[in-house]
Chain A
Amino acid sequence: MTGEQFSKLLSGIDERKLSEAENYTESRKFRGKRAVIALAAAALALLIAGGTVFTAFRVGASYDLLQNAEVGPARAAAPITDFPAVPDASGDLISPMRAGFYIGAIFEGKIEEICDSRYLWKNAPCTVLRVKVLDVLYGKGLPETLNVCCDRCPPDAFEGYDRFIFSLRQIGIENFALIEEGTGEIRYFDGMFEPFGAIGSQVASVFAFKNGIFDPAFFEKAAIERNVFTANDWKSYWEFVMDHEDAYSVFLPVGRDTTIENAKARIKEHLESADGVPTEPVVLTKNDFFDGKADLWTEVAPENGVFTHDLLSYGDGTSRVAYERRVNGFPSCEKIYIDSSGTVTKSETHYTEEDLAHVPDIAPLIERFDGRTASSPSAKAVEGHAELVSWRADGRYFKIDGKVSAVILYMWYYRFGDPSNRWCEVGLDRLYVYYDVDGRAEAITAEELENRTGVYMMPAGGFTAFLSPTDDFGPINEPATPAPTPDDDPDTVKETEEIEETTAPGL
């Protein structure tokens, strides 16, 4: 067998393994650097007699983190940055709160402070910067300084540069919460932004300049990601793009040895073209926004969950900010929307404190369903007609019949076709198992779920006929059938040799 045949056959493996390989990297890639940072911190602590360096985590990033975090009252911890009212570009004195959400803002900036604290964002470390806005290329009402949260960026990557061009979007007006690793405390930030490709080139969102000249090496150091690209991908991708500008139809704001003034001029010129900024920024300026925000505050009490947000656009060009409540770390269908006029709209499944007092724990249910695949009714029904490729159990909270209930989304992925010829279709089947507050389980279809909750979910891929509402899924406390583990499978290779981990050279 040749290497290429083997590698080609690898394409047929469960793609979740490939995804997990990348996620593993995301969650562990800075382990060595963290260790070094910790050592450096320890040394520093000795020197300054009591200094503390800690890592922080973003709320909502991980169920486990939330479970382990000591979640206090919403305003218990003071923000590390207190924004004063500042003049905007027109000279009016405004609060950055009043400036509202920006989906796209592009400006020349200078880093005033790299926060000592370390945080985790989506299980990856991130660095928080305090950035001074020097020259706004796009957007209005930006504060003079703002916070930027860069995931997977080591803090030292930003050192040594005198200027940056940032393309950002705002991810928190206030109550952007992070958890410090050392203390487990949640800390709240005002006016948090993150890198976002608003320039339209889709090639990068932060450009670093040393002595006024663009430095592509920054991408390697900072590891600012776009989607799944790693730092190394970025570096090679960027170098390839600069060497083959004609091969891409994307806008390149910088090339080798571009000065910051030239880069700004190119960006401004591009912004005026039809292919410039893809989306108008959402800027909430009305005073009634504050009323809405105050109302929102009463909904954000984190004892039973933390709201996450998303930026949404619609076919008519309008945009809204949506907050979705997370309960016990899992998403629920409760949403609060703020549109560009500042109007706050709550979904009809608005939760009350009484609702939240009777929330079932969804995690054990998911674990339990992960062990039931072999005996699932769908698996039996399609036997001989399709191949079960993979399955996944997930959970979500809905408000059904006036009560917050757990619904397990149990998904099977099937491949249909003739194995002697080629597998020609991949199907997705979803089963929704609804648990009421008394622990009774019931299998329902997506359509039934929508009828009961008013929430649309992606329908099953044409295989709902295999589901029967009378299937017995047992009471909520029935012991789970454990899924086979590698240790139980005699055909599975076991790893017995542990290789001692080493730190990367030079660290």
Chain B
Amino acid sequence: MDEGALTNRRERRMDVLDDREIIELLFARDQRALEELTKDCRARALKTAREITGSAEDAEECFDDALLRVWERIPPERPASVKFYLFSIARNLALDRFREKKRSKRGGGAECLPLEELSEVLGDVRDVEGAIEEKLFTEALDRFLDGLKPRSRAVFLRRYFYMEETKEISSALGLSETHVFQILSRTRAKLKKFLRQEGYSI
């Protein structure tokens, strides 16, 4: 093998390891993988988890738990994007914690505006239960999102996946906040109509 091939194997970007490199470290049980993930994903995940749980402490715990799960699951799992994988776990843990808070007698007052907005629209849509139904629902969501214009899709996902405030979205996309509200409102209505067509209403 020539020198070029060898150097291709050895090359490392200075600032950030990519997903493949981090997964390689995880398979080698090298804890530097966790340091890299923390360096790269912590702030983003903490922010979203904090928006959901309303608590910096809860957000920290969700992120730490997510990191532990990544360590436990990889190997054998090999996600396409370990950073997204970590972010999704942390986010889902935060959603679980939010639900626990809502159910807990002591946890009254748990609020997350984006989730409230969704609940208002989806209240009469039946729950999705089981892995197969979840998979089918996710596929339907993909189709729904495919049908949106890129701007509407970006606004929708920033609000309901990343849990960003409308002010943040308006600033990031160069739109007025009123415009963001309009897009969200119309997209929620379309979502409801779409889910009805897909047979998800009661």
Task: Tell whether A pairs with B.
Answer: yes
Q: Please, which residues of chain A bring their CB within 8 A of the CB of B125?
A: 1
Among the listed B12, B127, B163, B198, which residue makes an inter-chain contact with A1, where contact means beta carbons less than 8 Å apart? B127
- A499 touching B183 by the CB < 8 A rule? yes
Q: Decide yes or no: A425 and B119 within 8 Å by CB, A1-B128, A231-B172 being known contacts.
A: no
Q: Please, which residues of chain B bring their CB within 8 A of the CB of A236?
A: 47
- Give the size category of B's interface with A: 35 or more
Chain A 474-497 interface mask (CB, 8 Å, partner B; 1/0): 000000000000100101111101
Q: Please, which residues of chain B bring their CB within 8 A of the CB of A21?
A: 153-154, 157-158, 161
A466 contacts the other chain (Cβ, under 8 Å)? no
- B44 touching A228 by the CB < 8 A rule? yes
Q: Please, which residues of chain B bring their CB within 8 A of the CB of A347?
A: 3-4
Inter-chain CA distance A288–B119, complex, in Å, is 68
Q: Please, which residues of chain B bring their CB within 8 A of the CB of A427?
A: 78
- B7 touching A337 by the CB < 8 A rule? yes
- B186 touching A497 by the CB < 8 A rule? yes
B55 contacts the other chain (Cβ, under 8 Å)? no
B31 contacts the other chain (Cβ, under 8 Å)? no
B28 contacts the other chain (Cβ, under 8 Å)? no
In the assembled complex, the CB of A433 is this many whole angstroms from the nearest CB of chain B, namely 21
Q: Please, which residues of chain A bring their CB within 8 A of the CB of B69?
A: none
Q: Decide yes or no: A24 and B150 within 8 Å by CB, A32-B174, A419-B131 being known contacts.
A: yes
Among the listed B12, B95, B119, B179, which residue makes an inter-chain contact with A312, where contact means beta carbons less than 8 Å apart? B12
Q: Please, which residues of chain B bring their CB within 8 A of the CB of A421?
A: 131
- B80 touching A32 by the CB < 8 A rule? no
Q: Please, which residues of chain A bring their CB within 8 A of the CB of B12?
A: 312-314
In the assembled complex, the CB of A6 is this many whole angstroms from the nearest CB of chain B, namely 5
- A20 touching B143 by the CB < 8 A rule? no
Q: Please, which residues of chain B bring their CB within 8 A of the CB of A232?
A: 164-165, 167-168, 171-172
Inter-chain CA distance A501–B194, complex, in Å, is 25
Among the listed A7, A197, A312, which residue makes an inter-chain contact with B11, where contact means beta carbons less than 8 Å apart? A312
Q: Please, which residues of chain A bring their CB within 8 A of the CB of B135?
A: 12, 419, 423
Chain B 74-105 interface mask (CB, 8 Å, partner A; 1/0): 00111111001000100110010011000000
Within 8 A of B (CB), among A257-307: 279
Inter-chain CA distance A232–B162, complex, in Å, is 13
- A492 touching B146 by the CB < 8 A rule? yes
Q: Please, which residues of chain B bring their CB within 8 A of the CB of A313?
A: 12, 14
In the assembled complex, the CB of B198 is this many whole angstroms from the nearest CB of chain A, namely 8
- A322 touching B11 by the CB < 8 A rule? yes
Within 8 A of B (CB), among A196-254: 196-197, 202, 227-233, 236-237, 240, 244, 247
Q: Please, which residues of chain A bring their CB within 8 A of the CB of B117?
A: 3
- B8 touching A455 by the CB < 8 A rule? yes
Q: Decide yes or no: A24 and B151 within 8 Å by CB, A227-B16, A493-B194 being known contacts.
A: yes
Closest to A499 in B: B182
- B43 touching A233 by the CB < 8 A rule? yes
- B5 touching A450 by the CB < 8 A rule? yes
Chain A 173-188 interface mask (CB, 8 Å, partner B; 1/0): 0000000000000000
In the assembled complex, the CB of B103 is this many whole angstroms from the nearest CB of chain A, namely 11
- B142 touching A13 by the CB < 8 A rule? yes
Closest to A19 in B: B84
Q: Please, which residues of chain B bring their CB within 8 A of the CB of A473?
A: none
- A454 touching B5 by the CB < 8 A rule? yes
B106 contacts the other chain (Cβ, under 8 Å)? no
B160 contacts the other chain (Cβ, under 8 Å)? yes
Q: Please, which residues of chain B bring their CB within 8 A of the CB of A497?
A: 186
Inter-chain CA distance A322–B8, complex, in Å, is 11
- B77 touching A425 by the CB < 8 A rule? yes
Q: Decide yes or no: A9 and B176 within 8 Å by CB, A197-B15, A413-B80 being known contacts.
A: no
A352 contacts the other chain (Cβ, under 8 Å)? no
- A29 touching B172 by the CB < 8 A rule? yes
Q: Decide yes or no: A455 and B5 within 8 Å by CB, A1-B125, A13-B138 being known contacts.
A: yes
Q: Please, which residues of chain A bring their CB within 8 A of the CB of B145?
A: 13, 17
A68 contacts the other chain (Cβ, under 8 Å)? no
In the assembled complex, the CB of A226 is this many whole angstroms from the nearest CB of chain B, namely 8
Inter-chain CA distance A328–B134, complex, in Å, is 43
Among the listed B81, B99, B158, which residue makes an inter-chain contact with A25, where contact means beta carbons less than 8 Å apart? B158
Within 8 A of A (CB), among B10-42: 10-16, 20, 39-40
A4 contacts the other chain (Cβ, under 8 Å)? yes
Q: Please, which residues of chain B bring their CB within 8 A of the CB of A337?
A: 7
19 CB contacts below 8 A, A to B, read: A1-B123, A2-B119, A9-B137, A12-B134, A17-B142, A25-B173, A31-B173, A232-B165, A347-B4, A349-B4, A424-B77, A425-B76, A454-B4, A455-B4, A489-B147, A491-B198, A493-B148, A502-B175, A504-B170
B residues apposed to A, CB below 8 Å: 1-5, 7-16, 20, 39-40, 43-44, 46-47, 50, 56, 60, 76-81, 84, 88, 91-92, 95, 98-99, 112, 114-119, 122-123, 125-128, 131-132, 134-135, 137-138, 141-154, 157-158, 160-161, 163-165, 167-168, 170-179, 182-183, 186, 190, 193-194, 197-198, 200
